[in-house]
Each structure stands twice: as structure tokens, then as C-alpha cells.
Amino acid sequence: MKKLFDYLNPLTRLGSKKYSFWLPLIVNISIPFISEFYAYYIAENPEAVGAYIIFVNVASVIYFSFRDGTRGGLISSLTAVLYYFYIILTRGYSGERLLPAVETSGLLGVTFLLLSVIIGFLKQRIDTLIIREIESRQNAEEGRLRLQTILQQLPIGVLMADAKGKTLEGNKQLENILGRKINGNSAKYPDDRLIPKDWPITRALQKGETVFAEEMEFVKENQQKILLKVNAAPIKNRNGQVIAAVSILNDITRERDLENRKDDFINMASHELKTPITSMKIYIEILANMLKKNHDQKSFKIIQSIKSQTERLQELISDLLDVSRIQTGKLTFNKEQFVINELVEEAVEILQTTTTTHKIKLAKSSRVMVFADRYRIYQVLTNLITNAIKYSPDNSDIKLMIKTDNNKVVICVQDFGIGIAKSEQTRIFDRLYQVTDPTEKTFPGLGMGLYISHEIVKRHRGKLWVEGEKGKGSTFFFTLPFAKK
Ligand code: ADP
């Protein structure tokens, strides 16, 4: 019974695009038959079909256009008009009565038609809107579920807070990291806030700040100290108001611990290697002198190769030590006043002796006094010039220039070699970073030189950067402030 009621009730069919064809047709064909039956067999008067039929038809048009859209209404209108013409034919309307009867039927037909189009159109429009609303609600719900599953599966902690920081939500991983429950109010801090003031998410909420990779210490309830890497970002509405914020927390305690141990190992290993290599170099020197005295040219040549390889090894160890000094903040400088041009000339002169394939040219410039660590700046120059030689395999020239700009000196080292893609131009200064291009030949190296040089220049309040294009060569620039008079 309920099923039948639901089937007939147009309201329960709102939001469904199932429009019947047969029900309106059968019902609307039945109406004339029932009416005729009533007139001929119950009232026994063919003229008894009166105004009631118009009322029934209006009701049918409204009902079916509301139940089955324009099509339901049109079926009702059409059958009604056909029935009126049937009545005109069978009841002998003629002469003066014919025209008004045809006119009335026509007018009623147009009215029915208008009614069915308007109501049917509205009904169909409402259906579309309801369906769209349901779909968007479903989509939103599915999106929420999807997001929740992703959040729960993420290997990092995710914390979300509303605009006032009053409700908090966190995924499982976050609870594992912090060792406490996060959802709701359980994580209250003494002054009635859920999150401590200095957490990046608080800044994102209060100042709309976006925080990237900030390191933060956190003490768990069991007093265990952990190191977190935190990102945070505000979520803003269309008017730019902060409505919520999200923060990503990554426990990097183990990672940092491993890194520290690796650095310690490199530091220790380089220190351990330094002593035997220094002794080796002394013995090689003694041996070389002995061979020279004995005029043993062949052995002397071999010992010279051993010497240069030992020197290379010594340079590598010294770079390793520098990297580790930078990491531990132990890189120190002995600054003094000197003329930078003389140091550059010296570097050019010495490095020119190491290559017969490249010509190193230094442009003339006026003398500039700087206050810096001579040895370390020499190290930067050596690194840039040897790189320029190494990365221009087609034996082109290397050009050096010393310019002044405001209160600083700019030293440029230009080569016409393989160049560096724009996307790599900042990354080459990272620790152990080397450009790898499968289409190019590989160059030996460990990617420490530019990292060290960058740090040295930075610690002199200068800047080191590169310009150029891949395939066309690179120009490295570094600045140093003038010595104060
Ligand atoms: P290494 O030369 O030992 O690999 P560096 O720190 O000196 O390490 O350089 C880092 C990377 O930068 C190099 O591996 C190389 O890919 C790129 N690079 C440095 N100098 C140049 C240059 N003059 N031309 C092209 N690429 C360079």
C-alpha cells in the first residue's frame, strides 16, 4: 500500500528523473471512457458531461505535469482536447453552437498546454537541482573520506586547526609522533589554548604566515626530546580571511642522529687519514730527491705521479674536513687587509702552470683592498678556476675580471664550457650536489668545492652565484666588501 502511495505521490518522486509515459496515457484515456459511461449508463443523458470534466482535466494536467514533467502534462492536455472535439462531434453541435464550442475547446487546450509546460518545466528544473545537490553532497562526502584515508595513511603527522585554534584534528601518525591524543580538547595547554604559542600552526592561524621546513624541539610527556621538521599554512576563504590552518610535522630525530653520526665519522676518518698522508708526502719528497741525485729518470717520473696523486688525496681530505667544520660551525677565519688583485694574479699564475690546454686571462683592473682570510679566498679562487678548466673540455679560454660595485669588489670567473641549466644554478652550491646529465660525459668530483666556497664567501658577508646557459658556458661571481679605511 505504501509502495502504491509512494508511486502515485508526486512529492516522493521529486529529485528523480523517472518520468512515466504509460500511467498518464492510461489514466487520461480512461477519463473520457468513464465520463461517457457515466453520461450514457448512469445519468442516461449524453448532455450530462458538464463542467466537472474541465475540473477533472485541470486536475489531471496539474497532477501529471507535476508527477511526470512536461510529457505527462502534454499527454493530459492532448487527451482532454481530443475528448472535447469528440463531444462536439457526437453531441450534434452545429450552427450557432459550433463555433463557441470549438473556441472554448481551443482556449482550454491552450490553457492546459501552458499549464503543463510551466509546471512540467518547473518540476524538471527542481529535479535537476535536487540531483545536483545530492551529487555535490556525495562528492563532498567522498572527498572528505578520501582525504581522511590519505591523512591516516600518511607517514607524516598532520595537524589541522580551525580559525580560533579551538578544535584540533590530527592523524594517527601525529599522535604517534607527539605521544598524546590530539583530537578535540584533550591536548589543552595551561592557558586554555590547544596548541602552544610558538608552534608554526599558531603563526599560520594568527598571522596568515606560511612556514616551510622549520625545525622545532618537542618534549614528549615521557620527557623524551624529539626534533621535528614542521611546515604550516593558513587556509583562507575568498575574502582572504584565515578560516583554518594545517601543519605537517615530521619526526627527524633519527635522521638527524644518523646525519650527525655520519658527519662525526667523516670528521674522524679525515683526521685519521690526514696524518699518514702528510708523512707519506714527506717520504715521497725524500725519495724523489734521492732518485734525482741518482739520475734515475724513470723512477723519478713515477714518483712524481705518486706525489701529484697524494696531493690530490690531501686536497680531498682537506675538503672533507672543511665540510665537516662547516657542519659543526667550526670553520674559522684569519682575516687581514690585502690587495685582492695580487691574490687573483697569484692564483692565475699558479693554476696556469697546471694546464697547457686552457688559457687563463685576467683583465686589467684597479687595485682594491679587502679585509679577508687570504688562504680561504685563495681556496675559493682555486675552486672556481679549476672548475672552469674541468667543465670546459673543449679547451677554451677562461676569463677573469675584477670589478668594483658600490662598496664591494666583484670577482668574475667566466668559462665557455658545458654551462649549467638554470634549474641547477642554485642547487650546485648545496653540499655534495653534482649535476648529472645522462647525455653528458661524467666528470670526477664529490660536489664539495662550491659548497665550501659558498660558505666561505657568505662568512665574509659576500655573495657567490652563477649565471650562464647550458651549453654556452658559465660565469661565477663572488663579492667581498672593501676593507674599512
Ligand atoms: P665537483 O666539481 O667536485 O663535482 P663542485 O662543488 O665544485 O664539485 O661543483 C658542483 C657541481 O657544479 C659540479 O659537479 C658541476 O656539475 C657543476 N659545476 C661547477 N662548476 C661548473 C662550471 N664551471 N661549469 C659547469 N658546471 C659546473
Where does 397-444 have alpha helices with state H? none
Work out the pLDDT band at 135, boundaries 50, 70, 90. very high
Predicted pLDDT of residue 264: 87
Q: Look at 147-161, 309-323, 438-452 and tell me which has the smallest mean pLDDT.
A: 438-452
Judge whether residue 192 has pLDDT over 80. Answer: no
pLDDT at 178: 86
**pLDDT, tens only, 325-381:** 898 888 999 999 999 999 999 999 999 998 999 999 999 999 999 999 999 999 999
What average pLDDT does the segment 292-299 reach?
88
Q: Does residue 467 line the site of ligand 1, with CB under 6 A? A: no
Say if residue 205's pLDDT is above 90: no
CA of 325 to the centre of ligand 1 (A): 21
Helix/strand/coil (H, E, C) string of 128-173? HHHHHHHHHHHHHHHHHHHHHHHHHHCCCEEEEEECCCCCEEECHH
The rounded mean pLDDT for the chain is 90
Q: Whose CA is nearest to atom 12 of ligand 1?
A: 428
**Cα 435 to ligand 1 centroid, rounded to whole Å:** 7
Residue 194's pLDDT is what?
60
Predicted local distance difference test score (pLDDT) of residue 336: 94
Residue 186: the pLDDT is 44
- Ligand 1 pocket mutation, candidates 428, 441, 454, criterion most atoms within 8 A of CB: 428
- Is 187's pLDDT higher than 50? no
pLDDT above 90 covers what percent of the chain?
Answer: 64
Q: What is the pLDDT of residue 193?
A: 52
CA atoms of 281 and 307, how far apart (whole Å): 7
Asked if 61 and 80 count as a contact pair (C-beta separation under 8 A), the reply is: yes
Alpha carbon distances (Å) from 86 to 40, 81, 110, 113, 117: 15, 9, 17, 19, 24
Query: Does residue 445's CB lie within 6 angstroms of at least one atom of ligand 1?
Result: yes
| Atom 23 (ligand 1) nearest CA | 388
pLDDT (mean) for 264-287: 91
C-alpha span between 374 and 351 (Å, rounded): 17
For residue 398 and ligand 1, the question of a CB distance below 6 A is answered with no
Q: Band the pLDDT of 190: cuts 50, 70, 90.
A: very low
pLDDT value at residue 305: 93
Is the predicted pLDDT of residue 185 greater than 90, yes or no? no
Cell of 223: 620527557
